């Protein structure tokens, strides 16, 4: 009400002054608009020239990181293949290569982050054109894509190592048990018992790995494999111990133990398909997921890096 009273009390001269003042303000806004890329291209060009070298260097750095991440993805794929093939030596080389790549990638990413933050536009962000803004945003996306890689690789390695240790222990066990049977058939019961002791130790190693991963995967297949092989080994130990004591002469006890050996042997898997199932179970615990995550990160990085050019 006071404002209306004041306006109603204005003289003709007062109204004229007010209208002129508003007109001048409007004219000033029209004559001096907020600069944009259309009205003041020279201002934006100046900032574009200032950030262009830094963006070009960032593009090159991201390309180098992209190459390293591609190598990391290949190492992840190779680890899956070599684990399935039960080749612990090749798997160890895959993991070593991946570890080295992570150590190479991480400082590169830190350098890119520092270079990105150091681009000379902080004082005049309002004069940064859309193209430059897009390239800077893409560089940030590229960094974001790479940051999870160390954790993903760690998860892959932590899944692969127990898997490799388990399959190696079980494979070594089978080889030792087979050698014991060959020595027992040749009448060298002492040597057979030594091999069986080594085989039992490898089953203990497999059991330790099983206990380590029990919270992550279903260990039903592993448990059955270990239990059946341990039963078979125990029966062989009883047979060869008695045969050694009897000088190789068949007795009532040895015949009963031979029947126990045969019954235990019938329960053993006919081939290595159970091991393949074990490896698949372990892979479900995180190995495949980590490898897929690395592939996705690589794709996101490549797309973002291309947009920085």
Predicted confidence at residue 122, as pLDDT, reads 58
Least confident of 25-39, 93-107, 208-222: 25-39
Predicted confidence at residue 73, as pLDDT, reads 95
pTM of the model: 0.71
Per residue in 276-286, pLDDT tens?
777 777 777 67
Output the CA–CA distances (angstroms, integers) from residue 67 to 109, 113, 243, in the order listed. 13, 18, 63
Sign of CA dihedral 96, 97, 102, 105: positive
Do residues 202 and 170 touch, judged by C-beta distance below 8 A?
yes
Domain ranges in the chain? Answer: 41-154+292-308, 159-287
Predicted confidence at residue 19, as pLDDT, reads 43
Q: What percent of the chain has pLDDT over 70?
A: 82
Give the residue from 156, 165, 290 showing the smallest Cα distance to 222: 165
Do residues 176 and 198 touch, judged by C-beta distance below 8 A?
yes
Separation of alpha carbons 299 and 266, rounded Å: 50
Q: What percent of the chain has pLDDT over 90?
A: 53
Per-residue pLDDT for 254 more than 50?
yes
Predicted confidence at residue 41, as pLDDT, reads 56
Per-residue pLDDT for 174 more than 90?
yes
Per residue in 61-103, pLDDT tens?
999 999 999 999 999 999 988 888 878 889 999 999 999 999 9
Predicted confidence at residue 7, as pLDDT, reads 43
Structure tokens at 165: 């240790």
H-only helix segments in the chain: 2-8, 12-31, 41-84, 88-117, 130-146, 149-185, 189-213, 220-246, 252-266, 273-282, 288-308
- 176-188: average pLDDT: 95
Predicted confidence at residue 42, as pLDDT, reads 58
- 138-158: average pLDDT: 93
Q: How confident is the model at residue 270 (pLDDT cuts 50, 70, 90)?
A: confident
Per residue in 2-30, pLDDT tens?
544 444 554 544 544 444 454 444 444 44
């Amino acid at each position: 009400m006071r404002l209306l009273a004041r306006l109603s009390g204005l003289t003709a001269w007062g109204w004229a002054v007010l209208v002129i003042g508003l007109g001048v303000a409007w004219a000033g806004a029209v004559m001096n608009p907020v600069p944009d890329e259309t009205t003041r291209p020279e201002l934006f060009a100046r900032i574009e020239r200032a950030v262009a070298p830094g963006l070009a260097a960032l593009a090159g750095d991201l390309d180098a990181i992209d190459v390293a991440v591609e190598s990391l993805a290949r190492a992840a794929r190779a680890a899956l293949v070599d684990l399935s093939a039960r080749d612990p030596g090749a798997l160890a080389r895959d993991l070593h290569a991946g570890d080295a790549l992570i150590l190479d990638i991480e400082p590169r990413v830190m350098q890119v982050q520092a270079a990105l933050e150091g681009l000379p536009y902080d004082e005049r962000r309002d004069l940064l054109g859309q193209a430059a803004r897009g390239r800077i945003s893409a560089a940030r996306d590229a960094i974001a894509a790479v940051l999870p890689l160390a954790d993903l690789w760690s998860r892959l390695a932590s899944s692969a190592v127990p898997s490799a240790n388990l399959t190696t222990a079980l494979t070594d066990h089978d080889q030792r048990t087979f050698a014991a049977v060959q020595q027992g058939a040749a009448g060298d019961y002492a040597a057979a018992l030594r091999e069986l002791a080594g085989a039992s130790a490898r089953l203990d190693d497999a059991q330790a790995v099983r206990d380590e991963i029990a919270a992550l995967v279903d260990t039903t297949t592993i448990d059955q494999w270990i239990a059946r092989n341990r039963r078979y080994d125990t029966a062989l130990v009883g047979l060869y111990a008695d045969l050694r004591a009897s000088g190789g002469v068949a007795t009532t006890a040895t015949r009963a133990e031979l029947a126990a050996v045969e019954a235990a042997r019938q329960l053993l898997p006919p081939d290595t398909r159970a091991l393949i199932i074990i490896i698949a179970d372990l892979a479900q615990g995180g190995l495949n997921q980590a490898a897929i995550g690395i592939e996705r990160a690589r794709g996101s990085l490549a797309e973002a890096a291309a947009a920085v050019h």
